[in-house]
Each structure stands twice: as C-alpha cells, then as structure tokens.
Amino acid sequence: MERIYSKHSPRRRPGEPVCRFYNRQIRSKHLAIKKMNEIQKNIDGWEGKDIGQCCNEFIMEGGLTKIGAKHERHIFLFDGLMISCKANHGQSRLPGYSNAEYRLKEKIIMRKIQIIDKDDTSEYKHAFELVSKDENSVLFAAKSAEEKGNWMAALISLQYRSTLDRMLDAVLLQEENEQPLRLPSPSVYRFVVEDSEENVVFEDNLQSRNGIPIIKGGTVVKLIERLTYHMYADPNFVRTFLTTYRSFCKPQELLSLLIERFEIPEPEPTEADRLAIEKGEQPISADLKRFRKEYVQPVQLRRLQSPFVETHTEWAFVA
C-alpha cells in the first residue's frame, strides 16, 4: 500500500526550498481546477455539484468496459468521484445540439465504495468490481492486465489514502524520535535551548484549534524562538506578541534578536565529517542536510513570511 500511495502523493524534490514546494502545490491546485472545469464542460447531461466542489485532484482517465452494457465507457477518476460516460454519437453531435464529447451515465462517490478484484472467467477478463454501501455494484473490465493494474493501483490508493497518511505520519514521528534533529550548541545559538519551566510557560491542557500549545509567558529569547518556530506557524501568537512586546522588549532589542535568530550556525561536524575534512574533502552529511531542510529553511521562511514584524519594528523606531 505504501508503494502504491507514494506514486500518487506529492513529494518535495531533494534540495527544493519549502516556499518553492508550496508554490508548486498551489500551481498544481490551479491546474487541477482548470482540468476539472474542462472535463465537466465536455460532459453532456451533468447535474448536481461541480466536480471542483467535491474533488481536489484529477487522477486518470481511460476506457473501460462495463459488464452488461452495450458500449464502452470512458472513465474520469478524481479523488472524490469516478465518472462513467458514454461517447456522444449521432444527433447530439449535430448543429443545434450539445457539442460535448461525452454523455454522463453515472457518478460514483469514492468514499462510499469498496474495490474488489475479480478473477478471469469465460464471461470477462481483467475485471474489478465497485460495491457501494447500499450493496449496489458495477463491474468494469480493462483491455489488459497492465491497464487493470493501473486502475486498481489508483483506486486502492484513494481508498486507503487517509489511513496511509496516518501511517506515514506515525513512521516519520517514530524516525524523528529515534534520530533527533542535530542542532547547534546552545552556547553558540541560544534559540535551541530546550523548553523548561524556567524559560516558557504553556496554558495547562489548552491548545488552539490546530493543536498548537498556547504560550502563557516566557523569556524574550524563547518568545522569539516561538515567533519563528521551525515545526509550525502560530499566527495567533505572532499577533499577540506584536501587541504586547513593547512592555518587555525595546524595538532595537527585538530587531537584533530577529537578526540573530535568522543567522543560524551549523551544528558541530560529526567524527566522520572531521575525518573527511582532514583529508581535504568538504562533506555534507545526512544530518547536516536534514538540519538545513527541517530547521534552517522553516525558521528563515517564517521570518521572511512575516515582513510586518520588521515593518512594525521600524515604525517603533520612528515613534
């Protein structure tokens, strides 16, 4: 299942900045909406919600034979719907009639179906069955075993996507716990000091809607760290900080701390790195790559995504 899911899940390219990755996702979303609108306009007899209102992603399309039907169906598969169409022939293609290439036959809601693999028989080959919760079913057959495999892979990945998401999150969390992120020494970068009762206080048993712990108070350094935290963004805390920081921090001090926060030193090289350096090499270990990807880039991105922090500080100088 993990192998199938990985084929249909967006991944950040190695070395790709976080901001570019999310921009790529936004562009992909716009292209997906455009694709869904084009498909819907090409289907005669469409009723109900637009495809874009119940789907986020176009998966694939192709011809399948519906067992028991006279004509081949053209199938459009989305993450929320499977749309079965018939080619528009005859008078509907004449002037004065719809110019749509396909005519709607049925819509299948993906979250309500079960996918069943079917063995080859004398009546059909390369088939699979879709069974809805109300026990209605439809049997489709592909032209080859390879085509059937492609359809089954896409359908199963959609059926188990939420489960696989949770499994992947659990695996990543376990890996993170087993191999904690290597950070600079607190003696050279004070924003990596561990949370304690002496430097930060959280609201007891209280979190935001996003599950982010609510900060009750802390040292200035710790608050700056949380202002540009590497694990998540907290807009509510940013707003609270900007309306209260003058009571405990001068604007000049805030600006200096933000600059210091942005200039992140790298952790001490490992023993293997030291040996390579002694040989005249310039190694970049997996730990260092991970540090740059999971710590440096998010922190600096949070800082760059919040230009109003700097603007707010500059206005404070004028005041």
Q: Look at residues 195, 143, 158 and name the one whose alpha carbon lies nearest to residue 57.
A: 158
Mean pLDDT on 205-215:
76
The domain defined by 2-167 carries CATH number 2.30.29.30: yes
Higher pLDDT residue, 70 or 149? 149
- Residue 3 confidence (pLDDT): 45
250: alpha, beta or left, given left = phi > 0 and alpha = psi -120 to 50?
A: beta
Provide the pLDDT confidence category of residue 15 given band limits of 50, 70 and 90: very low
Coil, strand or helix at 117: strand
Decide: 65 and 140 in contact? Cβ < 8 Å. yes
> Which range scores top for mean pLDDT: 23-32, 43-52, 275-284?
43-52
Average pLDDT estimate for 196-201: 92
Interhelix angle 235-244/307-318, nearest 10 degrees: 10
pLDDT in tens, 29-49: 778 788 899 999 999 999 889
Beta bridge partners of 137: 131
pLDDT at 139: 95
The percent of residues in the chain predicted with pLDDT above 90, rounded, is 42
Here the contacts of 37-41 (C-beta below 8 Å, separation 24 or greater) are: 39/76, 39/83, 41/100
Residue 14 has pLDDT above 50, yes or no: no
Q: What is the mean pLDDT of the chain?
A: 82
Decide yes or no: CATH 1.20.870.10 for domain 181-318.
yes
Cα–Cα distances in angstroms (integers) from residue 73 to residues 33, 61, 142, 244, in the given order: 23, 11, 10, 63
Average pLDDT over residues 20-29: 54
pLDDT digits (tens, 9 = 90+) for 294-312: 999 999 888 776 544 545 5
Helix (H) / strand (E) element for 89: namely none
Q: Where are the domains of the chain?
A: 2-167, 181-318
- The answer on pLDDT for 20 being more than 70 is no
pLDDT at 265: 94
C-alpha distance from residue 259 to each of 180, 227, 232, 296 (Å)? 26, 13, 20, 14
308/271: higher pLDDT: 271
Q: Flag whether pLDDT at 146 surpasses 80.
A: yes
pLDDT confidence bin for 104, thresholds 50/70/90? very high
pTM over 0.75? The answer is no
Comparison of pLDDT for 78 and 174, the residue scoring more: 78
Confidence at residue 316, expressed as pLDDT on a 0 to 100 scale: 44
Please state the rounded mean pLDDT for residues 218-235: 91
Instruction: State how far the Cα of 46 lies from the Cα of 60, in Å rounded to an integer.
Output: 19
